[in-house]
Amino acid sequence: MTLPRSVGILLLCAGVVACEGSAQHTHHPGGNEPDPPPPATSDSVRPAPAKFSCDASAVPSDLPFPRLSRTQVMNSLRFSIARALPNEADAVWENLAPLLARYPTDQRTPAPGDLKGGFSRLDQSIQQTQIDVMYDLGNAVAQELTSTDARRNALLGSCASDSQTANDRACLETFIRGWGSRVLRYPLPTAEVTAFADIAGATPVNRAAVADVITTVLNSPWFLYRVEHGTAAGQPVSPLSAFELAAKLSYQLWQAPPDDALWAAATDGSLLTETGFSAQLDRMMKSPQLRGSLDEFVSEWLRLEELPSLEALRNDPVYRSFVGAQMPLDATRTAMFEDVQLSAWNTVVSGGTVSDFLHDKRSYTADPFLAGIYGVPVWSGSGPAPVMPSQNRGGLLTRAALLATGTPSTRPIHRGYLVRNALLCQQVGAPPPNASTRPPAPTERMTTRQVVSQLTSGGSCGGCHNNTINPPGFVLEGFDALGRERDVERLFNPQGHETATPSVDTSADVLLYDSEQRVISSASELSRMIDDSQLFESCVAQHYFRFAHARVESTSRDGCLLSEMETVARSGAPMADLLKTVVQHPTFKQRSFQ
């Protein structure tokens, strides 16, 4: 069950299971690096024990037949068009827009025991709609690529338009061998080139016949899936071929087929050497193409899309009074997402750590409304980003994307659950059947905290809300439903008239894990507790494992990689090393058939 941010959940806690670990912090130089975390105090939380351990005899499982995600399919289609008609690729893509919109969106699937979250990559289902739309897309691309003799000639070369017919078959086969191999991501053997060419029949360079060939290639399982046979037939675990490894590496880091340099490394075999693989990995990690994959990971991990429109209630009198003179647009909503994504990106490219990402207080926005929320000038996109001046801004926890609700009311329950589940990897049990689905909202005289406490402090809800969900949410009540800092909560009547301005109470007794419990009253203190515990670092590793592998981990079979990722995340190593750990691990270069 996926619950939108607008829904206030009264959650019954069936038990909390924490990600656990220990840590150091090392600050790494960089042009736009995050500020170092605040110093530890004598009241610092003890690092939690490591959650994952390695059983060297365990064999990790693999997805049986990895399907490309929607994003990866779209990138692959663009690649196929650009390989065929590089000078007209943008125009062709624009013509395909209506069909592209019909391709089903991958459904985000939470891990077992989680009420929310999950990654779209985990959706490995196949719908009839996908098959139908993919056929239509393949056909549409084929029709575009062969719509004129000039385009057909650009695909096949001069042999398609000369007076000779004896060379037509060879002309088509050359195109299939070159374009088809890159699109299907492996060198097509002669038998397969022949099979594709046979589709054109007796008219190999006829535009309609060539279109049939292209349609067939784009609907091949090799296009829609990552097909991995390995190089040791019949063995339970087999090394990947150079081209299988190139495709796996490229889709992991760039969500797209291998580029020319990676393809060349696969072709000459250097990708299978330690030196050659490292060279390609370093090149790919420095490429701007990495950002698309990182953006998707961060957005889905932190559930940014749960933030509703900031304009939907623009005519509601309470919302208008709450917002003030300037109404935010949905461009600000997008800017809120980009602010979080750019924080992660700049952490990676500057050599910052996972801890640096948590504590980063720089604002990465050119949106005036969002910059106003942070109290900083807009950022030009180059040079050091401005630092948020407030000491109460605790880095990631107080970015507007994680605080805003699209309503005049904050959501302490949502905020608390996000901290527990997304940032700490602690599971919270499902709500009881009679739980209210109506978001707790302040009244003319009662604050949001008072209403939430009244609704959740007793009965079957109390144990979980009082000890687990509500406390971190209450600590964040110093920020309103747009992410603006506040000392008082403005209460309104239904007509939007202000009725009271009580002080905001941000103090709470936060139990992080075991006996590590502190009474705190600021977001910066909460960030420090989370970081000291190392639960955040372990949790990032766990979430990135799921994103990278398009499946939920097995703590027994995947323990070795998870343990290594956890160690890297906690060690003070660059956050980029966490991404690299996945592809450098021996299991990345092999295929398990067990």
Name the phi and psi angles at 176, rounded to 5.
-65, -45
At 23, is the pLDDT very low, low, confident or very high (cuts 50, 70, 90)? very low
At 37, is the pLDDT very low, low, confident or very high (cuts 50, 70, 90)? low
Look at the alpha carbons of 386, 391, 395, 398 in this order and tell me if their dihedral is positive or negative: negative
Question: 377 in a domain, yes or no?
Answer: no
At 64, is the pLDDT very low, low, confident or very high (cuts 50, 70, 90)? confident
pLDDT of 201 reads: 96
Contact 470, 510 (CB under 8 A): no
For residue 38, which of 476, 530, 541 has the smallest C-alpha distance? 530
> Across residues 220-225, what is the average pLDDT?
96
C-alpha 304/C-alpha 170 separation (Å) is 52
* pLDDT tens-place string over residues 165-208: 999 999 999 999 999 999 999 999 999 999 999 999 999 999 99
Instruction: Out of 81-85, 340-344, 428-432, pick the least confident.
Output: 428-432
Question: 212 in a domain, yes or no?
Answer: yes
Is the predicted pLDDT of residue 300 greater than 70, yes or no?
yes
Question: 219 in a domain, yes or no?
Answer: yes
CA 371 to chain centre: 24
pLDDT of 490 reads: 98
C-alpha 260/C-alpha 182 separation (Å) is 9
pLDDT of 594 reads: 77
* pLDDT tens-place string over residues 115-136: 889 999 999 999 899 999 999 9
Rg of the chain over CA atoms, in angstroms? 27
Contact 378, 317 (CB under 8 A): no
For residue 529, which of 411, 413, 419 has the smallest C-alpha distance? 419
The angle formed by the CA atoms of residues 204, 206 and 212, to the nearest 5 degrees, is 75
Question: 167 in a domain, yes or no?
Answer: yes
HSE-CB for 407 with a 13 A CA cutoff: 15
Question: 127 in a domain, yes or no?
Answer: yes
Q: Is 494 exposed, middle or buried (0-12, 13-18, 19+ CB in 10 A)?
A: exposed
C-alpha 536/C-alpha 54 separation (Å) is 20
Question: 121 in a domain, yes or no?
Answer: yes
Is the predicted pLDDT of residue 444 greater than 70, yes or no?
yes
Q: CA-CA-CA-CA torsion for 434, 318, 325, 5, nearest 10 degrees? A: 10
For residue 479, which of 372, 397, 414 has the smallest C-alpha distance? 397
Instruction: State the residue for tokens 């939380």.
Output: 45
513 beta partners: 516
Question: 81 in a domain, yes or no?
Answer: yes
pLDDT of 429 reads: 76
- DSSP conformation letters of 458-518: SHHHHHHIIIIIHHHHHHGGGB-TTS-B-SB--EE-TTS-EEE-PBP---EEEEEETTEEE
pLDDT of 511 reads: 95
Count of structural domains, the chain: 1
The percentage of residues in the chain with a pLDDT greater than 90, rounded to a whole number, is 84
Instruction: Out of 1-10, 229-238, 436-445, 474-483, pick the least confident.
Output: 1-10
pLDDT of 439 reads: 79
Q: Is residue 593 helix, strand or coil? A: coil
* Residues 6 or more apart whose Cβ sits within 8 Å of residue 303: 5, 116, 117, 418, 422
For residue 154, what are the domain limits? 70-224
Is the predicted pLDDT of residue 227 greater than 90, yes or no?
yes
Q: Both ends of the chain: CA-CA distance in Å?
A: 31
pLDDT of 18 reads: 33
Contact 76, 93 (CB under 8 A): no
Is the predicted pLDDT of residue 432 greater than 90, yes or no?
no
Bigger pLDDT: 217 vs 430 = 217
HSE-CB for 539 with a 13 A CA cutoff: 25
Instruction: Out of 29-43, 58-72, 454-468, 492-506, pick the least confident.
Output: 29-43
Instruction: Out of 101-110, 293-302, 341-350, pick the least confident.
Output: 101-110
Average pLDDT, the chain: 91
* pLDDT tens-place string over residues 336-363: 999 999 999 999 999 999 999 999 999 9
At 460, is the pLDDT very low, low, confident or very high (cuts 50, 70, 90)? confident
pLDDT of 457 reads: 85
> Across residues 550-557, what is the average pLDDT?
94
For residue 526, which of 415, 406, 379, 369 has the smallest C-alpha distance? 415
Q: CA-CA-CA-CA torsion for 475, 481, 484, 488, nearest 10 degrees? A: -60
Question: 38 in a domain, yes or no?
Answer: no
> Across residues 16-32, what is the average pLDDT?
36
C-alpha 513/C-alpha 156 separation (Å) is 65
